[in-house]
Structure 1
Amino acid sequence: MQHVYVIGSKGLPGSYGGYETFLDKLTEYHQNNRNIQYHVACKANGDGVSPELESMPARFKYHNADCFKIHVPEVGAAQAIYYDCMALEYCVKHIRKHEIKNAIVYVLACRIGPFFAHYVSEIHKLGGKVYVNPDGHEWMRAKWSKPVREYWKLSEKLMIKHADLVICDSKNIELYIQNTYKRYNPNTTYIAYGAETKKSILSDESIELVNWYNKNNIKKKEYYLVVGRLVPENNFETIIREFMKSESKKDLVIISTKNDSLLNELDIAHGFRKDSRIKFVGTVYNQELLKKIRENAYGYVHGHSVGGTNPSLLEALGATELNLLYDVGFNRECAEDGALYWTKEFGNLSNLFNKADALSPEKIALLGKKAQKRILDAYSWKFISERYEEVFIDTSKVAENHAIAVGAIKSA
């Protein structure tokens, strides 16, 4: 039995963030796997905790994973750092108390670099290893001040330096890690996030969908859809500015978290509230409803510019036929020739909206087939869960994948 401790997510049942969705699916696909026992840290309080998680006891089973809740002090922006450190303390004590051999502690995101070497040393003394998933470029996010960005960059460096294995969710991220931190000779491998390709269980006549359409004055195949956090690095300003310049008769429907200050900035700059086509409709936590909204969209618009394999993009590729993606390496890596691409250059996306409106049904269907094949070939949850089993159980596979990554970098 391989014991795997996972920290850094908000926990299970999740709030449908990237890490939470990943853990939900990983434990689901491995719930009957007798070779792996998961132990998952769950945030007991603070931002991002799902109502389902709040109702759970201090320790509970979910998909056969042993889930334990960590109560974090209210310390503002530093709460995430406290959370990871407290979760690591718990893991060390649990491994020691139960004399668990060869434990793996898998840390999601690079938030605790200055404290990381201490915990790695403690886990090594107990015969365990520490793996890290660096996610995307947290230090590039526009929401952080310069001192905070410098902290994230330092934290990333120190965690890459001391990790036994770095699991990258994007080939671009793996190349970045190898090139940026080659003096540490990081041991890396690539495993993406996953996505579903099965259709929503809801029909076009489902009351949930009909009520949602009526509430927001939206019609099937008459809208472009955007799903994502309302933050600058997701390029909402470019998307809104360019859609307003386009001649499209369709709506631009934005499912997003609340950010009144950014909305006000965008309205002052572009006056989007005067454009009846642009509709901010809040969040949708019903996953079957969200999947059906994706399926019925005329097109999906993806502006994420920071990060690796983005879960909302994979879900769109699996559900929406026509996808318009911001032209950056992470997004091209995912969709390849199954999507159309745009830049932030003035007029570029507005022209693409006009061209997309005029595409034939046959062209759209062909793009949809290519996008879905991309998900089936490289991003299905079955495939991803099998890759994780290899990494957690078969150490020879880790060495083999590391050699492949280093060879690719040398030949690039």
Structure 2
Amino acid sequence: MKDVFIVGSKGIPAQYGGYETFVDNLVTRQVSKGIKYHVACMTFDKQPKHYDYNGADCQEITVPNVGGAKAIIYDLKALNWALEQIKKNNLRNGIVYILACRIGPFIHSYIPKFHKYGFQVWVNPDGHEWLRAKWSMPVRKYWKVSEGGMVKNADLLICDSKNIEKYIHESYSKYNPNTTFIAYGADVLSSTLTADDAKVQEWYEKHQVTPNNYFLIVGRFVPENNYETMIREFMASDVKKDLVIITNVERNKFYEDLKEKTHFDTDKRIKFVGTVYDKDLLKYIRENAYGYIHGHSVGGTNPSLLEALADTKLNLLYGVGFNKEVGEDGALYWSKTPGFLKDLLEKADKLTPKQIDNLGKKAKQRVIDEYSWKKIVDEYETKFLEN
């Protein structure tokens, strides 16, 4: 039996983001009987629970709710839990898989402890956390140093983007990092909802949106997702359709600054509609968008991009390597050059149904061929068992 400890996701069953969805799929779609998953799950509860989830051994790790630092504390406490379990149950020759690069300054002290029991330490380096604008400069410096520490000490780095793998080798060649590429996954399934469903009708009526008459943006409301460019360019266009923005928007400084810079509140086409937690409803909204605009500029294979390619026929992606690698010829690409996205939106608005269908087929095929959860889980299981 190969014991695999997974550290760094908030927990399963998934109610959060990309890492949580990944771990959930890894566990629920498990094929090999030769792997036993042990999953750390974050909690603020003083009485952490231990439970089974689809055969995975799940342990809640209690952390103090102290802002960004809680993730570092969580990872370290989760590694201590993994070490205790290995010692207590006399486990040998397994894998500790750490998601993200938060504990670089501390990881070197853990490596020999795990190696003592034949356990390798693997890391998923995620995207460029140190480039995210939400962090202050000292925190960004910490993330960069931490990334270097993880790359230097890991036995293996599993990159979910070929561009991230390339970046790791170019930036940390002095460490001669051992890497491999296994992508993130997505499902190509249609929404079970129809236009007659009450929740569908309620959502469209509430936001005064008409199916197939809106461009859509879905993503965290942060500067590196290029909201300013997308909104400014849309406002400059003569597109008559709405721009529906599904995001965790709070009336924060970024929102107020954006409003002041662009005056988007004066454009009736632009609609911030909050978040949609109902996955089937979100899928329906994607399927019935005229087009999807993706502005993510930081990170590897982005989950919301895969979902868009699987669900929406017409996708307009910010033209960075991460996005081009995923979309290939199944999408259209834009740059931040003033007027570029405006022109692309106006051209996209005039595409024929056949042209849009062709793009949609290519996009969906990309996901089926390269990013299906079945393929991703199979690649992970093969990798876990070959060591």
Asked whether the two chains share a fold, i.e. TM above 0.5, the reply is: yes
What is aligned with 1:400? none
What is aligned with 1:205? 196
What is aligned with 1:42? 41
What is aligned with 1:382? 374
What is aligned with 1:259? 250
Report how far residue 178 of structure 1 moved: 1.1
- Out of 279, 284, 291, the residue aligned to residue 276 of structure 2 is 284
What is aligned with 1:115? 106
CA–CA distance in structure 2, aligned partners of residues 357 and 21 of structure 1: 33
What is aligned with 1:399? none
Q: Secondary structure at the match of 1:68?
A: strand
Pair 1:25 & 2:17 matched: no
Pair 1:7 & 2:4 matched: no
Which range is displaced more, 209-218 or 57-66? 57-66
What is aligned with 2:166? 175
Report how far residue 57 of structure 1 moved: 6.5
CA–CA distance in structure 1, aligned partners of residues 231 and 382 of structure 2: 43
CA–CA distance in structure 2, aligned partners of residues 193 and 204 of structure 1: 31
CA–CA distance in structure 2, aligned partners of residues 60 and 286 of structure 1: 25
What is aligned with 1:229? 220
Superposition misfits of 4+ residues, deviation over 4 angstroms: none
Q: Deviations over 1:47-81 (max 9, x none)?
A: xxxxxxx8x96011222211110110233221110
CA–CA distance in structure 2, aligned partners of residues 240 and 367 of structure 1: 24
CA–CA distance in structure 2, aligned partners of residues 163 and 170 of structure 1: 18
What is aligned with 1:325? 317
Which range is displaced more, 58-67 or 369-378? 58-67
Q: Secondary structure at the match of 1:369?
A: helix
What is aligned with 1:406? none
CA–CA distance in structure 2, aligned partners of residues 61 and 277 of structure 1: 48
What is aligned with 1:275? 267
Is residue 299–residue 324 contact of structure 1 (8 Å, CA) maintained in 2? Answer: yes
Q: Equivalent pairs: percent with the same residue?
A: 57
Q: Secondary structure at the match of 1:220?
A: coil
CA–CA distance in structure 2, aligned partners of residues 343 and 77 of structure 1: 32
Q: Secondary structure at the match of 2:135?
A: coil
| C-alpha RMSD of matched pairs (Å) | 1.2
Pair 1:369 & 2:368 matched: no
| Alignment coverage as a number of residue pairs | 385
Which residue identity lines up with residue 13 of structure 1 in the other structure?
Answer: P
Q: Secondary structure at the match of 1:336?
A: helix
Pair 1:68 & 2:59 matched: yes
CA–CA distance in structure 2, aligned partners of residues 63 and 241 of structure 1: 46
Q: Deviations over 1:183-240 (max 9, x none)?
A: 1111100001001111111112111111111111111101111110000000001000
Which residue identity lines up with residue 165 of structure 1 in the other structure?
Answer: L
Report how far residue 160 of structure 1 moved: 0.6
CA–CA distance in structure 2, aligned partners of residues 279 and 273 of structure 1: 9
CA–CA distance in structure 2, aligned partners of residues 358 and 9 of structure 1: 43
Report how far residue 258 of structure 1 moved: 2.5
What is aligned with 1:194? 185
Q: Deviations over 1:298-330 (max 9, x none)?
A: 001100000000000000000100000000000
Instruction: Kindly report which structure 2 residues correspond to 1:75-94, keeping only aligned pairs within 5 A, or say none.
Output: 75-94=66-85
Which residue identity lines up with residue 311 of structure 1 in the other structure?
Answer: P
What is aligned with 1:405? none
Pair 1:146 & 2:130 matched: no
Which range is displaced more, 17-26 or 317-326? 17-26
Which range is displaced more, 62-71 or 300-309? 62-71
What is aligned with 1:214? 205
Pair 1:95 & 2:86 matched: yes
Is residue 101–residue 143 contact of structure 2 (8 Å, CA) maintained in 1? Answer: yes
What is aligned with 1:340? 332
CA–CA distance in structure 2, aligned partners of residues 326 and 354 of structure 1: 16
CA–CA distance in structure 1, aligned partners of residues 65 and 322 of structure 2: 35
Is residue 95–residue 103 contact of structure 1 (8 Å, CA) maintained in 2? Answer: no
Is residue 215–residue 292 contact of structure 2 (8 Å, CA) maintained in 1? Answer: yes
Report how far residue 34 of structure 1 moved: 1.0
CA–CA distance in structure 2, aligned partners of residues 33 and 350 of structure 1: 49
Unaligned runs of 5+ in 1: 46-53, 396-412
CA–CA distance in structure 1, aligned partners of residues 63 and 126 of structure 2: 22
Which range is displaced more, 333-342 or 76-85? 76-85
Is residue 122–residue 157 contact of structure 2 (8 Å, CA) maintained in 1? Answer: yes
Report how far residue 20 of structure 1 moved: 1.0
CA–CA distance in structure 2, aligned partners of residues 138 and 295 of structure 1: 30
Which residue identity lines up with residue 382 of structure 2 in the other structure?
Answer: E
Q: Deviations over 1:65-122 (max 9, x none)?
A: 1111011023322111001001001000011100111121100000000110111121
Which residue identity lines up with residue 92 of structure 2 in the other structure?
Answer: K
Q: Secondary structure at the match of 1:16?
A: coil
Report how far residue 182 of structure 1 moved: 1.4
